[in-house]
Amino acid sequence: MPDQRRALLLAVPALAVFAAFWLLPMARLFVVGASGPEGARSYLAVVTNANYFRSLVSTVGLSAGVSVATVVISLIAGIFLQRNRFPGRGVLVSLMTLPLAFPGVVVGFMVILLAGRQGLIGEATARLFDERLVFAYGMAGLFMGYLYFSIPRVILTVMASVEKLDPALEEAARSLGASTWQVTRDVVLPALMPAIVSSGAICFATAMGAFGTAFTLATQINVLPLTIYNEFTNYANFAMAASLSIVLGLITWAALALARSLAGAGVAAAG
Amino acid sequence: MTRRPARYWLQLAFTLLVCAFLVVPIVMSILAGLTTNYFVGIRSGLTLRWVHEVWELYSETIWRSTWIALACLGCTLLLGIPAAYALARVQNRWTRLIEELLTLPIAVPGLATALGLVLLYGGWRDFRASWLFILVGHVLFTLPFMMRSVLAVMMAVDLKTLEEAAASLGASFRKRFMTIVLPNVRPGILAGSLMVVTLSMGEFNLTWMLHTPLTKTLPVGLADSYASMRLEIGSAYTLIFLLMIVPLLVALQWASVRAQKG
């Protein structure tokens, strides 16, 4: 037993840092959240206050929409990339994983280059239709940014799980006369379900909590992280910022816990 | 050469479109950073003027980010490898709880963690104004990645049997840790280290709340240049960032494949 005890002691430094710089600050956040004029009821403000509630609904809606779109796009591209061999495939896969390490601010800038006032889409539509299409600085831009951020991650997950599929199952289905679409619907997609659900949940949690992209595009978009930021810095409403942060943290944590229970380890929000 | 069905070409076209969506803005950003006047276009000529200007304005943030990333790496190595060892050797509900706790900082948005740090330690002036305040945030956020990367390799190499063999030959705990454990988990340490440095270099969600005007990091500088400088400068700055981060990413992917193979 002394060996085990000695091994456990080695986790103490990490735990001490965690307690001092995460647990205590979170406890403080929790207390500050209840210190406003409304007391502990401010934890309900996210549903009782019309403004915060709208912010919550639009953040959840945006994140859910991004997750569904990302998963659909990544399934089509990911299955294709894993199943087919053609010249340039390796380069294509590496190019598509480039944005993996981009922080939210850089993603925001990419959206501005595409859909901003001097962006590519604006330039193209101005030439073609005499009308400049600019949508970077609002919900649509944010949607695009989160797609940009999430697609590389989910494509990698899809490719890894397609690789692990048993080809015998598909061959069996095909030999029984199933069409390609039937094989995809009844064999491939059900087998990929754990990966789909978990990467969707990671997308959702990441989009809920992401701050950098929204901050780069416009500080007035009505999403929860920006609402929290504005309450804290512009209105010095620490109590409200704290309670909203706790609520947001609980939502992302719950989404990731769900993802992990469905797909095992390796799940984390990024960026 | 077999004929490909129409479905193949449709899927290929779709995949290329997705790739274009991801890559075109990167190319645009690189070009914009090297073009004399972005509004005129590439025919205005190529120049390093904007890169030079970024260096004059922001080189400090580049050094600071590099320094913080390396310090963060040092901290996560010292804290993360021993913690991973504890979790690998003792497996019960307490160690599962420890693992769960230590990964909380990546399950909760960085903004929330940063607000907590500011509310609790913001009054401690010297600490608040120093780069150490940012380092603390980065260590919290990157430690789980180091720990998991090392832990995954420790579980794969069956540390227990190796160590028991060494112990039966009379090797002390310290000796076993240095000569058996560390060399065997090197691929995990390498992958974890690259991950920590990459994440720390790009961290913004926490850092925006933790920085002061005197402790700006590279991503904070980027946000600043996007908001207040001309497009060419923001682009040139992004270009420098890409030059720093992309090699790390490539190395990281290589190292993770190696770590998985054991």
Cβ contacts of B102 on chain A, cutoff 8 Å = 14-15, 18
Q: What was the pLDDT predicted at B41?
A: 80
Q: Does B154 touch chain A (CB under 8 A)?
A: no
What mean pLDDT comes out for the span A212-219?
A: 90
Does pLDDT of A91 surpass 80?
Answer: yes
Does pLDDT of A73 surpass 70?
Answer: yes
Residue A204's identity, in one-letter code, is F
Nearest-CA neighbor of A74 among A96, A105, A106, A100?
A96
Cβ pair A78, A155 in contact under 8 A: yes
CA A129 to chain centre: 34
Nearest-CA neighbor of A226 among A148, A144, A151, A142?
A142
Cβ contacts of B204 on chain A, cutoff 8 Å = 103-105, 211-212, 271
User: Distance (Å, rounded) from C-alpha A6 to C-alpha A40?
Assistant: 43
Q: What was the pLDDT predicted at A270?
A: 40
Band (B262; pLDDT cuts 50, 70, 90): low
pLDDT tens per residue across span A113-133? 999 988 899 888 988 998 889
Band (B185; pLDDT cuts 50, 70, 90): very high
Band (A269; pLDDT cuts 50, 70, 90): very low
pLDDT tens per residue across span B28-66? 999 999 998 887 888 888 899 999 999 999 999 999 999
pLDDT tens per residue across span A229-242? 999 998 889 999 99
Does pLDDT of A85 surpass 50?
Answer: yes
Q: pLDDT: is A5 or A90 the higher one?
A: A90
Q: What was the pLDDT predicted at B253?
A: 86
**Measured between CA atoms, how close is A252 to chain B, in angstroms?**
6
Cβ-in-10-Å burial (0-12, 13-18, 19+) of B202 comes to buried
Q: pLDDT: is B4 or B155 the higher one?
A: B155
In Å, what is the CA distance from B232 to each residue of A228, B132, B236? Answer: 31, 32, 6
User: Distance (Å, rounded) from C-alpha A238 to C-alpha A33?
Assistant: 7
Q: Does A92 touch chain B (CB under 8 A)?
A: yes
User: What value does the mean pLDDT of chain A take?
Assistant: 90
Question: Is A34-263 a domain of CATH 1.10.3720.10?
Answer: yes
Looking at this predicted complex, what is its ipTM? 0.90
Residue B159's identity, in one-letter code, is L
Residue keyed to tokens 């440095």? B197
Residues B204-213 as b/e (b if ≥16 CB within 10 A, e otherwise) read bbbbbbbbee
DSSP reduced 3-state for B122: coil
Cβ separation B119–A104 shorter than 8 A? no
Cβ separation B25–A216 shorter than 8 A? no
Q: What was the pLDDT predicted at A260?
A: 81
Cβ separation A21–B117 shorter than 8 A? yes
Q: What was the pLDDT predicted at A268?
A: 45
Cβ contacts of B250 on chain A, cutoff 8 Å = 94
Cβ contacts of A245 on chain B, cutoff 8 Å = 109, 111-112, 115-116
Q: What angle do CA A112, A56, B110 make, to 5 degrees?
A: 65
Cβ contacts of B107 on chain A, cutoff 8 Å = 205, 249, 252-253, 256-257, 268-269
Cβ pair A25, B121 in contact under 8 A: yes
Q: What was the pLDDT predicted at B134?
A: 97
In Å, what is the CA distance from B205 to each residue of A14, A74, A118, B90, B127? Answer: 22, 26, 27, 34, 19
Residues contacting B223, CB < 8 A, separation 6+: A105, A212, A215, A216, B204, B208
**Measured between CA atoms, how close is B122 to chain A, in angstroms?**
11
CATH number of B28-261: 1.10.3720.10
Cβ separation A208–B109 shorter than 8 A? yes
Residues contacting A258, CB < 8 A, separation 6+: A201
**Tokens describing residue B167:** 């112990």
DSSP code at position B160: H
Cβ separation A114–B32 shorter than 8 A? no
What mean pLDDT comes out for the span B186-205?
A: 95
Which residues of A, range 2-31, sit inside 8 Å of B by Cβ? 3-4, 6-11, 13-15, 17-18, 21-26, 28-29
Residues forming a β-bridge with B46 = B35
Terminal Cα-to-Cα distance of chain B (whole angstroms): 38
**Measured between CA atoms, how close is B51 to chain A, in angstroms?**
17
Q: What was the pLDDT predicted at B1?
A: 52
Considering only A203-212, B35-44, B228-237, which range has the smallest mean pLDDT?
B35-44
Domain ranges for chain B, please list them.
28-261
Q: What was the pLDDT predicted at A264?
A: 55
Residues contacting B245, CB < 8 A, separation 6+: A101, A102, B198, B201, B202
Domain ranges for chain A, please list them.
34-263
Q: Does A33 touch chain B (CB under 8 A)?
A: no
Instruction: Provide, rounded to the nearest whole percent, the portion of chain B with pLDDT above 90.
Output: 73
